[in-house]
Amino acid sequence: MNYRARHLADVRPGGVPEPRFGVVHCAETNSWDTVEPNPQSSPVLPLEGTLIPIAFVFWLSIAVLVYVYAGYPLVAKLLGQTREPADWPLLPDAQLPTVTVLIAAYNEAEHIAETVRNKLELDYPREKLDVIVVSDESEDGTDEIVQGIIAEYPDRVKLIRQVPRAGKTSGLNLIMPEATGEIIVFSDANSLYGRETLRELVAPLADPAVGYVTGRMVYKAADGSLTGEGCSAYMRYENQLREWETRLGSIVGVDGGVDAMRREIYTPMRADQLPDFVQPLTVREKGYRVVYAKKALLYEDALSEVSDEFRMRVRVSLRAFHALKDKAALLDPFRYGLFAWQLFSHKVLRYLAFLFQLTALISNLIAVSALPNNPIWSLLLVGQIIFYTMAQYGSLMNKQKQTPPKLVSMAYYLCVLNLASGLAFWQFLQGKKQVTWNPRT
């Protein structure tokens, strides 16, 4: 007999069913019969049509995430291998440039003495090194501590007080006219350098094509034991990526607490701009390279609380969104070539990765809801659940001061970063800006 499939619930005016599945029409008897659909059969075309855009969103989201975290680094590595590695030998004392270390501090009485003395005691000719501290209206005795060091080193240390409080960026703008070094080094108020860090930072600047150099941050626990670069495998991954990007020409991101640049190309910034992000991009706009010196080591205490780290990530991400908006011209491949691709891949997509995580999860849930018996969609959802469970487990281990396994640590840091980026993006859309903040947050 000749049957035509129809859906029982969809009936046209006059009692004629719509062409869907659920009942069948027999041509010989001219009658409609109810049938039970086979749950193991493939979805009918209307349902498949509905899932096509859902599947597209899911696989696009996964593809972007894979590209951001694995594809782009792989391409950067392969392209970098086609170019000669950078070789910047350390300079003899006679050829070393003069250096001024700039330190912005707000209520850093706990760290400022050790930080300033650390810079003064580095392996660098004393007559070529001086330190300027800008106190952002500190109230905890930071100024008095620096004054005590000035009494010991009157020709090498200077203190400038910024009143009213206006943030790190304004402080750097304020003290730049006081800097006399050919090279400016930016240090955080709690940053301790390796003994040869300054020599490693200035070595690439002997190349006239290089305008900005960043070093490698190594976090340590409160008891002094190293917990790894960036407290996670994530920072090891970032530093490796910087090595590959340096071979391409310029890196996209810097550490901020161990940076050096040519004094003559410093550009004053707005108070709300992130100096660790905006200044290197401005240097690249001017045609100079921004490179990574992996032997220029910076040691900092790890953030002890998950909440502190999250707030720091939100603050940095918010200012990064504004920086990307300000420097959008660098995304023009016709003007900036390969660097435009690097900036888009490493920063724009990276900071928007939370969107693709969210759409991958939501589209997967919709697909499983529509096709509960489809093993592929179910397995994909199980994989996502395992990933987020690992991230939550990593959070609990961090709260208990335990070091999580590598995979757990990676899942945790990715979620912290992307959740912080999501909150920062919402604040960015609302027009919020952050100029000042308290130490270590």
Tens digit of pLDDT for each residue in 133-152?
999 989 989 999 999 999 99
pLDDT digits (tens, 9 = 90+) for 70-99: 999 999 999 988 888 778 999 999 999 999
26 and 155 co-located in one domain: no
pLDDT at 46 over 80: no
Burial class (CB in 10 A: 0-12, 13-18, 19+), 306: middle
7 and 140 co-located in one domain: no
Q: What is the CATH number of the domain that holds 137?
A: 3.90.550.10
Q: For residue 201, tell me if it sits in a domain.
A: yes
CB atoms near residue 440 (< 10 Å): 19
Q: For residue 193, tell me if it sits in a domain.
A: yes
Q: For residue 227, tell me if it sits in a domain.
A: yes
Q: For residue 395, tell me if it sits in a domain.
A: no
pTM recorded for the entire structure: 0.82
**Contact indicator for 352, 317 with CB cutoff of 8 Å:** no
State residue 174's pLDDT score. Answer: 95
Final residue of a structural domain among 249, 270, 302: 302
In the 8-state DSSP scheme, what is residue 17?
Answer: B
pLDDT at 112 over 80: yes
pLDDT digits (tens, 9 = 90+) for 406-425: 788 788 888 988 999 999 99
154 and 288 co-located in one domain: yes
Residue 364 C-beta-side C-alpha neighbours within 13 Å? 21
State residue 10's pLDDT score. Answer: 45
Domain count, the chain: 2
CA-based nearest residue to 435, from 162, 186, 187, 166: 166
State residue 194's pLDDT score. Answer: 93
Q: For residue 369, tell me if it sits in a domain.
A: no
pLDDT digits (tens, 9 = 90+) for 155-185: 999 999 999 988 899 999 999 999 999 999 9
Q: For residue 67, tell me if it sits in a domain.
A: no
pLDDT at 32 over 60: no
120 and 22 co-located in one domain: no
Stretch 333-358: mean pLDDT, rounded? Answer: 95
24 and 152 co-located in one domain: no
Stretch 225-251: mean pLDDT, rounded? Answer: 74
14 and 132 co-located in one domain: no
State residue 233's pLDDT score. Answer: 66
170 lies in which domain range?
93-302
State residue 45's pLDDT score. Answer: 34
148 and 274 co-located in one domain: yes
Q: Mention every residue, 6+ apart, whose C-beta is less than 8 A from residue 207.
A: 88, 289
Q: Which residue is associated with the tokens 């190309």? A: 265
